[in-house]
Structure 1
Amino acid sequence: MRFGTLHGVAIALLALTDANPLHAQAQQTPPAPRITLEEARVAMDAAEAEARSNRWNLAFVITDAEATPIYVRRMDEVPTRNYEIAMNKVQTAITSGMHTAEYAAAVKAQRIQPIEGALTFDGGLLLRRGGQVVGAFSASGARGAEDAQAVRAGMAAIGIEP
Protein backbone atom coordinates (compact mmCIF):
# COMPACT_ATOMS: atom_id res chain seq x y z
CA MET A 1 0.00 0.00 0.00
CA ARG A 2 2.80 2.34 0.88
CA PHE A 3 4.57 1.73 -2.46
CA GLY A 4 1.40 2.61 -4.32
CA THR A 5 1.05 5.91 -2.44
CA LEU A 6 4.68 6.87 -3.07
CA HIS A 7 4.37 5.86 -6.69
CA GLY A 8 1.30 8.06 -7.07
CA VAL A 9 3.03 11.03 -5.48
CA ALA A 10 6.07 10.58 -7.74
CA ILE A 11 3.87 10.55 -10.84
CA ALA A 12 2.04 13.66 -9.66
CA LEU A 13 5.33 15.47 -9.05
CA LEU A 14 6.66 14.43 -12.45
CA ALA A 15 3.55 15.81 -14.10
CA LEU A 16 4.12 19.16 -12.45
CA THR A 17 7.75 19.54 -13.50
CA ASP A 18 9.49 20.47 -16.72
CA ALA A 19 10.80 16.89 -16.85
CA ASN A 20 7.45 15.95 -18.33
CA PRO A 21 7.95 16.12 -22.14
CA LEU A 22 4.32 17.11 -22.75
CA HIS A 23 4.61 19.98 -20.28
CA ALA A 24 7.91 21.13 -21.82
CA GLN A 25 6.45 20.96 -25.33
CA ALA A 26 3.43 23.02 -24.31
CA GLN A 27 5.73 25.70 -22.92
CA GLN A 28 7.86 25.79 -26.11
CA THR A 29 4.99 26.05 -28.60
CA PRO A 30 4.16 29.72 -29.07
CA PRO A 31 0.54 30.62 -29.75
CA ALA A 32 -0.35 30.87 -33.42
CA PRO A 33 -0.23 34.47 -34.62
CA ARG A 34 -3.63 35.92 -35.34
CA ILE A 35 -5.53 39.11 -35.83
CA THR A 36 -6.81 40.43 -32.53
CA LEU A 37 -10.36 41.60 -32.02
CA GLU A 38 -9.10 45.18 -31.58
CA GLU A 39 -7.14 44.99 -34.86
CA ALA A 40 -10.22 43.60 -36.58
CA ARG A 41 -12.32 46.50 -35.26
CA VAL A 42 -9.80 49.11 -36.43
CA ALA A 43 -9.49 47.46 -39.85
CA MET A 44 -13.26 47.15 -40.20
CA ASP A 45 -13.82 50.80 -39.28
CA ALA A 46 -11.25 51.93 -41.87
CA ALA A 47 -12.73 49.69 -44.57
CA GLU A 48 -16.23 50.97 -43.85
CA ALA A 49 -14.99 54.58 -43.94
CA GLU A 50 -13.49 53.90 -47.38
CA ALA A 51 -16.76 52.35 -48.54
CA ARG A 52 -18.83 55.26 -47.22
CA SER A 53 -16.54 57.85 -48.84
CA ASN A 54 -17.19 56.13 -52.17
CA ARG A 55 -20.91 55.51 -51.51
CA TRP A 56 -20.55 51.73 -51.56
CA ASN A 57 -22.73 49.60 -49.28
CA LEU A 58 -20.72 46.53 -48.40
CA ALA A 59 -20.68 43.44 -46.25
CA PHE A 60 -17.32 42.70 -44.60
CA VAL A 61 -15.81 39.60 -42.99
CA ILE A 62 -12.51 39.28 -41.11
CA THR A 63 -11.47 35.76 -40.11
CA ASP A 64 -8.60 33.98 -38.45
CA ALA A 65 -6.28 31.66 -40.41
CA GLU A 66 -8.85 28.84 -40.20
CA ALA A 67 -11.55 31.05 -41.78
CA THR A 68 -13.48 31.38 -38.52
CA PRO A 69 -15.08 34.86 -38.38
CA ILE A 70 -13.61 37.33 -35.91
CA TYR A 71 -15.55 40.39 -37.04
CA VAL A 72 -18.51 40.73 -39.41
CA ARG A 73 -20.27 43.90 -40.53
CA ARG A 74 -23.08 44.44 -43.00
CA MET A 75 -23.83 48.05 -43.85
CA ASP A 76 -27.44 49.22 -44.18
CA GLU A 77 -29.31 48.08 -47.28
CA VAL A 78 -26.81 45.31 -48.08
CA PRO A 79 -28.54 42.02 -48.94
CA THR A 80 -27.71 38.91 -46.93
CA ARG A 81 -26.34 37.41 -50.13
CA ASN A 82 -23.40 39.83 -49.98
CA TYR A 83 -22.43 38.49 -46.56
CA GLU A 84 -22.48 34.98 -48.04
CA ILE A 85 -20.28 36.11 -50.93
CA ALA A 86 -17.85 37.85 -48.53
CA MET A 87 -17.67 34.67 -46.45
CA ASN A 88 -17.02 32.60 -49.58
CA LYS A 89 -14.23 35.02 -50.58
CA VAL A 90 -12.38 34.48 -47.29
CA GLN A 91 -12.89 30.72 -47.58
CA THR A 92 -11.45 30.85 -51.11
CA ALA A 93 -8.47 32.93 -50.00
CA ILE A 94 -7.68 30.71 -47.00
CA THR A 95 -8.15 27.45 -48.93
CA SER A 96 -6.14 28.55 -51.98
CA GLY A 97 -3.50 30.45 -50.02
CA MET A 98 -3.95 33.39 -52.41
CA HIS A 99 -5.89 36.62 -52.66
CA THR A 100 -9.06 35.89 -54.64
CA ALA A 101 -7.87 37.95 -57.65
CA GLU A 102 -4.63 35.92 -57.74
CA TYR A 103 -6.63 32.70 -57.40
CA ALA A 104 -8.88 33.74 -60.31
CA ALA A 105 -5.86 34.49 -62.52
CA ALA A 106 -4.22 31.16 -61.64
CA VAL A 107 -7.41 29.22 -62.45
CA LYS A 108 -7.90 31.13 -65.72
CA ALA A 109 -4.27 30.44 -66.75
CA GLN A 110 -4.79 26.78 -65.79
CA ARG A 111 -1.84 26.91 -63.37
CA ILE A 112 -4.01 25.37 -60.63
CA GLN A 113 -7.15 23.27 -60.43
CA PRO A 114 -10.30 25.12 -59.36
CA ILE A 115 -11.50 24.61 -55.81
CA GLU A 116 -15.07 23.37 -55.66
CA GLY A 117 -17.40 26.23 -54.71
CA ALA A 118 -14.64 28.85 -54.71
CA LEU A 119 -15.24 32.36 -55.99
CA THR A 120 -13.07 34.15 -58.53
CA PHE A 121 -14.16 37.69 -57.60
CA ASP A 122 -11.66 40.26 -56.34
CA GLY A 123 -12.08 41.47 -52.78
CA GLY A 124 -10.91 38.52 -50.66
CA LEU A 125 -7.42 39.13 -49.31
CA LEU A 126 -5.16 37.13 -47.04
CA LEU A 127 -3.79 38.80 -43.94
CA ARG A 128 -0.12 37.96 -43.46
CA ARG A 129 2.24 38.85 -40.68
CA GLY A 130 5.91 37.89 -40.99
CA GLY A 131 5.06 35.86 -44.09
CA GLN A 132 2.55 33.74 -42.19
CA VAL A 133 -1.18 33.79 -42.92
CA VAL A 134 -2.96 35.07 -39.82
CA GLY A 135 -6.39 35.61 -41.33
CA ALA A 136 -8.39 36.89 -44.27
CA PHE A 137 -10.48 40.00 -44.96
CA SER A 138 -13.15 40.38 -47.60
CA ALA A 139 -15.89 42.68 -48.77
CA SER A 140 -18.83 42.25 -51.11
CA GLY A 141 -21.44 44.61 -52.52
CA ALA A 142 -19.62 46.72 -55.13
CA ARG A 143 -17.39 45.76 -58.06
CA GLY A 144 -14.60 43.37 -57.11
CA ALA A 145 -11.88 46.02 -57.43
CA GLU A 146 -13.94 48.36 -55.23
CA ASP A 147 -14.46 45.62 -52.63
CA ALA A 148 -10.68 45.08 -52.66
CA GLN A 149 -10.03 48.82 -52.33
CA ALA A 150 -12.10 48.98 -49.15
CA VAL A 151 -10.36 45.89 -47.74
CA ARG A 152 -6.91 47.33 -48.52
CA ALA A 153 -7.84 50.51 -46.64
CA GLY A 154 -8.70 48.37 -43.63
CA MET A 155 -5.47 46.40 -43.93
CA ALA A 156 -3.43 49.59 -44.12
CA ALA A 157 -5.04 50.82 -40.90
CA ILE A 158 -3.45 47.91 -39.01
CA GLY A 159 -0.16 47.89 -40.89
CA ILE A 160 -0.70 44.83 -43.04
CA GLU A 161 0.33 45.02 -46.68
CA PRO A 162 -1.66 43.11 -49.30
Structure 2
Amino acid sequence: MAEQAMAAAEAESRANNWNLTIVIADAEGVPVMVHRMDGASARTFDIAMRKVHVVTETGLSSGEYGRRLQAGEIAEVENGVTFAGGVPIMQNGERIGAITSSGARGIEDEQVSLAGAAAIGS
Protein backbone atom coordinates (compact mmCIF):
# COMPACT_ATOMS: atom_id res chain seq x y z
CA MET A 1 0.00 0.00 0.00
CA ALA A 2 2.79 2.43 0.82
CA GLU A 3 4.35 1.94 -2.62
CA GLN A 4 1.01 2.58 -4.32
CA ALA A 5 0.36 5.71 -2.24
CA MET A 6 3.88 7.01 -2.83
CA ALA A 7 3.62 6.47 -6.58
CA ALA A 8 0.36 8.43 -6.74
CA ALA A 9 1.71 11.24 -4.55
CA GLU A 10 4.88 11.51 -6.64
CA ALA A 11 2.85 11.54 -9.86
CA GLU A 12 0.72 14.42 -8.54
CA SER A 13 3.83 16.30 -7.46
CA ARG A 14 5.57 15.83 -10.81
CA ALA A 15 2.43 16.78 -12.76
CA ASN A 16 2.56 20.15 -11.01
CA ASN A 17 6.36 20.57 -11.06
CA TRP A 18 6.61 20.59 -7.27
CA ASN A 19 9.82 19.18 -5.74
CA LEU A 20 8.70 17.74 -2.42
CA THR A 21 9.61 15.40 0.36
CA ILE A 22 6.85 12.84 0.85
CA VAL A 23 6.62 10.71 3.99
CA ILE A 24 4.34 7.75 4.59
CA ALA A 25 4.24 6.66 8.23
CA ASP A 26 2.46 4.00 10.26
CA ALA A 27 -0.07 4.77 13.01
CA GLU A 28 2.74 5.39 15.52
CA GLY A 29 4.41 7.93 13.24
CA VAL A 30 7.32 5.72 12.21
CA PRO A 31 8.25 6.30 8.55
CA VAL A 32 7.45 3.38 6.28
CA MET A 33 8.56 5.14 3.11
CA VAL A 34 10.29 8.46 2.42
CA HIS A 35 11.14 10.14 -0.86
CA ARG A 36 12.94 13.45 -1.09
CA MET A 37 12.61 14.44 -4.71
CA ASP A 38 15.46 16.10 -6.60
CA GLY A 39 15.31 19.80 -5.83
CA ALA A 40 13.51 19.47 -2.48
CA SER A 41 15.40 21.25 0.27
CA ALA A 42 16.81 19.27 3.17
CA ARG A 43 14.52 21.14 5.58
CA THR A 44 11.43 19.63 3.95
CA PHE A 45 12.08 16.29 5.65
CA ASP A 46 11.87 17.85 9.11
CA ILE A 47 8.66 19.70 8.21
CA ALA A 48 7.09 16.56 6.71
CA MET A 49 7.95 14.62 9.90
CA ARG A 50 6.43 17.37 12.06
CA LYS A 51 3.25 17.02 9.99
CA VAL A 52 3.35 13.25 10.64
CA HIS A 53 3.61 14.00 14.36
CA VAL A 54 0.54 16.26 14.24
CA VAL A 55 -1.54 13.70 12.32
CA THR A 56 -0.59 10.78 14.57
CA GLU A 57 -1.12 12.81 17.78
CA THR A 58 -4.48 14.31 16.79
CA GLY A 59 -5.96 12.12 14.07
CA LEU A 60 -6.59 15.33 12.12
CA SER A 61 -5.04 16.66 8.95
CA SER A 62 -2.28 19.14 9.77
CA GLY A 63 -4.29 21.98 8.22
CA GLU A 64 -7.38 21.14 10.30
CA TYR A 65 -5.18 20.93 13.39
CA GLY A 66 -3.92 24.44 12.63
CA ARG A 67 -7.45 25.80 12.23
CA ARG A 68 -8.64 24.21 15.47
CA LEU A 69 -5.57 25.31 17.38
CA GLN A 70 -6.02 28.90 16.22
CA ALA A 71 -9.68 28.76 17.29
CA GLY A 72 -8.63 27.52 20.73
CA GLU A 73 -10.49 24.24 20.32
CA ILE A 74 -7.56 21.88 20.92
CA ALA A 75 -4.26 21.76 22.75
CA GLU A 76 -0.98 22.44 21.02
CA VAL A 77 1.12 19.48 19.86
CA GLU A 78 4.72 20.07 20.86
CA ASN A 79 6.87 20.68 17.76
CA GLY A 80 3.78 20.42 15.56
CA VAL A 81 3.15 22.52 12.48
CA THR A 82 -0.09 24.31 11.79
CA PHE A 83 -0.19 24.35 8.01
CA ALA A 84 -1.64 21.91 5.48
CA GLY A 85 0.14 18.96 3.92
CA GLY A 86 -0.37 16.05 6.30
CA VAL A 87 -3.38 13.75 6.14
CA PRO A 88 -4.40 10.58 7.97
CA ILE A 89 -4.50 7.28 6.12
CA MET A 90 -7.74 5.52 6.97
CA GLN A 91 -8.76 1.91 6.36
CA ASN A 92 -12.14 0.53 7.43
CA GLY A 93 -12.72 3.58 9.61
CA GLU A 94 -9.43 3.17 11.46
CA ARG A 95 -6.41 5.46 11.18
CA ILE A 96 -3.52 3.29 10.09
CA GLY A 97 -0.99 5.99 9.32
CA ALA A 98 -0.25 9.34 7.74
CA ILE A 99 0.99 10.70 4.46
CA THR A 100 2.65 14.09 4.45
CA SER A 101 4.31 16.31 1.89
CA SER A 102 6.50 19.38 2.23
CA GLY A 103 8.21 21.74 -0.19
CA ALA A 104 5.43 23.69 -1.87
CA ARG A 105 2.64 25.84 -0.41
CA GLY A 106 0.61 24.05 2.27
CA ILE A 107 -2.46 23.62 0.05
CA GLU A 108 -0.24 22.15 -2.69
CA ASP A 109 1.45 19.81 -0.22
CA GLU A 110 -2.00 18.67 0.90
CA GLN A 111 -3.10 18.09 -2.71
CA VAL A 112 -0.18 15.69 -3.13
CA SER A 113 -0.84 13.91 0.18
CA LEU A 114 -4.53 13.52 -0.64
CA ALA A 115 -3.66 12.01 -4.03
CA GLY A 116 -1.49 9.43 -2.30
CA ALA A 117 -4.15 8.62 0.28
CA ALA A 118 -6.87 8.36 -2.37
CA ALA A 119 -4.80 5.87 -4.37
CA ILE A 120 -5.20 3.35 -1.56
CA GLY A 121 -8.82 4.09 -0.85
CA SER A 122 -8.32 6.38 2.12
User: TM-score of the superposition, structure 2-length normalised?
Assistant: 0.97
> CA contact under 8 A between 2:88 and 2:99: conserved in structure 1?
yes
Distance (Å, rounded) in 1 between the aligned partners of 2:105 and 2:39: 16
Alignment gaps of 5+ in structure 1: 1-38
**Cα offset for 1:79?**
1.3
1:130 aligns with 2:92: yes
Q: Hey, what's the Cα distance between the residues in 2 that align with 1:43 and 1:115?
A: 26
Across the two proteins, how many residue pairs are aligned to each other? 122
Mapping 1:1-162, distance limit 5 Å: 39-160=1-122
- How far apart, CA to CA, are the structure 1 residues paired with 2:103 and 2:54? 17
Q: Which runs of 4+ in 1 moved over 6 A?
A: none
> What RMSD, in angstroms, separates the aligned Cα atoms of the two structures?
0.8
**Larger Rg, first or second structure (1 or 2):** 1
Paired with 1:113 and 1:63, the residues of 2 have a C-alpha distance of: 23
What displacement does 1:58 show?
A: 0.4
Counterpart amino acid of 2:59? G
Higher relative contact order (CA 8 A, sep 6+): 2
Conserved 8 A contact 2:45-2:102: yes
Bigger helix share: 1
Task: State the AA in 1 paired with 2:103.
Answer: G
Q: CA deviation at 1:89?
A: 0.3
Distance 2:29 2:65 in 1: 16
Q: Relative to total residues, which structure has the larger strand share, 1 or 2?
A: 2
Indicate if the aligned counterparts of 2:91 and 2:121 stay in contact, CA closer than 8 A: no
Query: Which consecutive residues of structure 2, in runs of 5 or more, have no partner in the other structure?
Result: none
CA distance in 2, matches of 1:82, 1:142: 9
**C-alpha separation in 2, matches of 1:155 and 1:107:** 24
